[in-house]
Amino acid sequence: MAVADWLAALDRRAELRAKAGLTRRLHPRAAADGVVDLAGNDYLGLAAHPEVVAAAAQALAAYGLGATGSRLIRGSTEVHHTLEETLADWLGTDRALVFSSGYLANLGAVRALVRPRTLLISDAHNHASLIDGCRISGAETVVTPHADVAAVAAALAAAPGRPAVVVTESVFSVDGDLAPLARLHATAREHGALLLVDDAHALGVVGPDGAGAVAEAGLTGEPDVVVTATLSKALGGAGGVVAGPAEFVRHLVETARTFIYDTALPPVVAAGVQAAVGLARSGAGLRAELAERAAHAVGRLRAAGLDVSAADAAVVSITAPSPEAATAWATACRDRGVAVGCFRPPSTPDSRSRLRLTVSAGVPRADFEHALEVIVECAP
């Protein structure tokens, strides 16, 4: 194919996406743009907390901007190891391993859990990183209906004697509902399977001392549970973590391509996240405020006649009539100084488009109330 033909084909695909209301655009923001942020994932308002910024600044002065290499070459610093020990202690696991993103952590974790003949059982609403992890692993994958424990049990029963891994988010990233983790774990254990839980949207938000939904479900330290999470949501930073048995983390260090061949998380970020973990662990008041705001948002939006998800954590999802309507709704909100998430296929696990609100305890209460009014007034 000639270059001109290739570029023309890309233009045609863009036109088809535009007709379907699926065009995506970047919207650069200034450092202080004055927008009420219900789109970002800074649940506890820690990204710009003075203690977090101070810790990052100190690491920046000591180490410079980047890690300068992969973790196995020159990229491991004392900051990384301290953070991993802190995360393992918080999550109640033997060990934890920090990756440069939550996406890479999930890819590495899923691949490392696969052995010959392994069956992966993946929830239909799982995040793209888990879906891609299943695909890249090359293992047979059964996609089960959302949060359907009976379907998981049936899939496991249909593959007796095979190694298996049940793969799920804890708080699902699109609708914000909570997976039935205790029942999933009991079902997995009954069939000798492992359970992989992406706790990204729960870490810092739910559970004892904010240790996440795995801890809330009473599964802390279980040897057949592996936990992943991003450090970019409630902790306000970047990076990802995989936590679990020491033997599994050793296996990741020695075999995970997304760990071995990737430049390490910058020490400046690791230091900021370390400070954020301390604030999150002691942030019971922040979590209580977050839960109250999420419940209030659901009540206010439902009272306005909108189709709103339950708020099991801090994600609130509102159904839009169409991709075009979702885009127009989000744009109208942004024009009035309120940032909301706009989720359309293929970013949604079904055919529905949504606005997604990520509630933050760091937004002033008056601004939060104003933002809810704007969302209602701009509704299609």
Mapped onto helix, strand or coil, the DSSP state of residue 330 is: helix
- Tell me which residue range forms the domain holding 347: 33-48+284-377
Q: What percent of the chain has pLDDT over 70?
A: 100
Same domain for 270 and 292, yes or no, is no
pLDDT at 287: 97
**Torsion angle, alpha carbons of 37, 43, 47, 48, to 10:** 60
* Minimum mean pLDDT range among 21-25, 145-149, 210-214: 21-25
Show the tokens assigned to 167: 């793969």
Comparing C-alpha atoms, which of 147, 177, 202, 174 is closest to residue 319?
174
Show the tokens assigned to 86: 């802190």
* Residue found under tokens 């095979």: 162
pLDDT at 352: 87
Under the banding of pLDDT at 50, 70 and 90, the label for residue 22 is confident
pLDDT at 164: 98
Alpha helices in the chain (DSSP H): 3-19, 50-63, 78-91, 102-113, 128-137, 149-157, 181-190, 213-216, 246-255, 257-260, 267-281, 284-303, 323-335, 365-377
Residues in the chain: 380
- Read off the pLDDT of residues 244-256 as tens digits, 9 standing for 90 and up: 999 999 999 999 9
Residue 296 has pLDDT above 80, yes or no: yes
Same domain for 43 and 188, yes or no, is no
Same domain for 290 and 142, yes or no, is no
* Residue found under tokens 């820690």: 46
In a domain, 126, yes or no: yes
Same domain for 273 and 295, yes or no, is no
Same domain for 144 and 231, yes or no, is yes
Residue 33 has pLDDT above 90, yes or no: no
- Are residues 160 and 119 in contact, defined by beta-carbon separation less than 8 angstroms? no
Comparing C-alpha atoms, which of 103, 95, 356, 100 is closest to residue 249?
95
pLDDT at 104: 98
pTM metric for this prediction: 0.94
Question: How many other C-beta atoms are found inside a 10 Å radius of the C-beta of residue 273?
Answer: 28
Among 239, 259, 281, the domain boundary falls at 281
Same domain for 209 and 319, yes or no, is no
Under the banding of pLDDT at 50, 70 and 90, the label for residue 23 is confident
Give the mean pLDDT of 28-52: 93
| CA dihedral for 71, 74, 75, 77, sign (positive or negative) | positive
Element holding 166 (H helix, E strand): strand 164-169
- Read off the pLDDT of residues 122-181 as tens digits, 9 standing for 90 and up: 999 999 999 999 999 999 999 999 999 999 999 999 999 999 999 999 999 888 999 999
Give the mean pLDDT of 176-191: 97
- Are residues 320 and 348 in contact, defined by beta-carbon separation less than 8 angstroms? no
pLDDT at 350: 81
Under the banding of pLDDT at 50, 70 and 90, the label for residue 261 is very high
Among 281, 300, 324, the domain boundary falls at 281
Tell me whether the omega of the peptide bond preceding residue 346 falls within 30 degrees of 0, making it cis. Answer: yes
Cα–Cα dist 360/338, whole Å: 13
Under the banding of pLDDT at 50, 70 and 90, the label for residue 80 is very high
